[in-house]
Chains A and B, each alone.
Chain A
Amino acid sequence: GAVVSQHPSRVICKSGTSVKIECRSLDFQATTMFWYRQFPKKSLMLMATSNEGSKATYEQGVEKDKFLINHASLTLSTLTVTSAHPEDSSFYICSATTTVNYGYTFGSGTRLTVV
């Protein structure tokens, strides 16, 4: 079945540094990638939608200059949290879908802790 590999699973970084999270679709071409943020004991909040080769579409209230999304190929999308601050600490999850046999496959998530 469709698999999305997300790395790293956990990362701790210092305030002011940047962190990159990668999501790779291993056995299918992901035409669209979604990035979510999940706060403790809360639902998933959609941050942005990215289509291969085009700029990401950000949801209202999400800072595009802080959360840089790149979807340069059909198998890789990255989320870079720039100048991270403690309030950016959260669980980030990617999801991929394909128009061939549409379904949503989720990565295993990244626990980001900014200290």
Chain B
Amino acid sequence: GDSVTQMEGPVTLSEEAFLTINCTYTATGYPSLFWYVQYPGEGLQLLLKATKADDKGSNKGFEATYRKETTSFHLEKGSVQVSDSAVYFCALSGDSGYALNFGKGTSLLVTP
């Protein structure tokens, strides 16, 4: 079945450092890929998404490119801020109306 694997955390970075959180997937067909962010005690917020190969999703300085050849959707940000501290989830969806399949989440802590 479909699955998502993302790097284990926690990831600790200094402010303004470069961030990469790796995500790879296994899926039949052509899934859509998502990154969600969860702040402490809150629900999930969509950070960005890509619906087909070579699409790049971007939002708030974060980017991820849908790479079909490597089945990856790595999240990157050039300069992280303390306010980016949160848990990041990579997810995929096989089709409209189907539940998202989540990775285990990566906790990010950005220190001043």
B-side contacts of A95, CB under 8 Å? 44, 99-100
State how many residues of chain A have any CB contact under 8 Å with chain B: 23
Q: Does B35 contact A (CB under 8 A)?
A: no
A-side contacts of B36, CB under 8 Å? 106
Instruction: Give A106 to B36 CA distance when docked, in angstroms.
Output: 10
* Shortest Cβ gap from B16 to chain A (Å): 27
* Shortest Cβ gap from A13 to chain B (Å): 19
Q: Interface digits, B82-111 against A, CB 8 Å rule (1 contact, 0 not)? A: 000000010001001101101111010000
Are A43 and B104 in contact, CB atoms less than 8 angstroms apart?
Answer: yes
Are B97 and A102 in contact, CB atoms less than 8 angstroms apart?
Answer: yes
Q: A44-B89, A97-B96 are in contact. Are A106 and B104 (CB under 8 A)?
A: no
Interface stretch (choices A63-71, A73-81, A82-90, A107-115): A107-115
Q: Does A6 contact B (CB under 8 A)?
A: yes
* Shortest Cβ gap from A95 to chain B (Å): 7
Are B42 and A109 in contact, CB atoms less than 8 angstroms apart?
Answer: yes
Instruction: Give A109 to B36 CA distance when docked, in angstroms.
Output: 14
A-side contacts of B34, CB under 8 Å? 104
Instruction: Give A38 to B104 CA distance when docked, in angstroms.
Output: 11
User: Max chain B CB contacts within 10 Å: which of A32, A34, A104?
Assistant: A104
Q: Which of B10-35 touch A at CB < 8 Å?
A: 34
Are A34 and B99 in contact, CB atoms less than 8 angstroms apart?
Answer: yes
Are A93 and B41 in contact, CB atoms less than 8 angstroms apart?
Answer: no
A-side contacts of B93, CB under 8 Å? 104
Instruction: Give A2 to B6 CA distance when docked, in angstroms.
Output: 27
Q: Which residue of A is nearest B107, CB measured?
A: A41
Instruction: Give A49 to B97 CA distance when docked, in angstroms.
Output: 9
* Shortest Cβ gap from A103 to chain B (Å): 7
Instruction: Give A107 to B43 CA distance when docked, in angstroms.
Output: 6
Are B45 and A97 in contact, CB atoms less than 8 angstroms apart?
Answer: no
Q: Does A99 contact B (CB under 8 A)?
A: yes
Residues of chain A touching chain B, judged by Cβ–Cβ distance below 8 Å, are: 6, 31-32, 34, 41-44, 46, 49, 93, 95, 97, 99, 102-109, 111
Would you list 6 pairs from A and B whose C-beta atoms are within 8 A, ordered by A residue? A34-B100, A41-B107, A93-B44, A104-B46, A106-B44, A107-B43
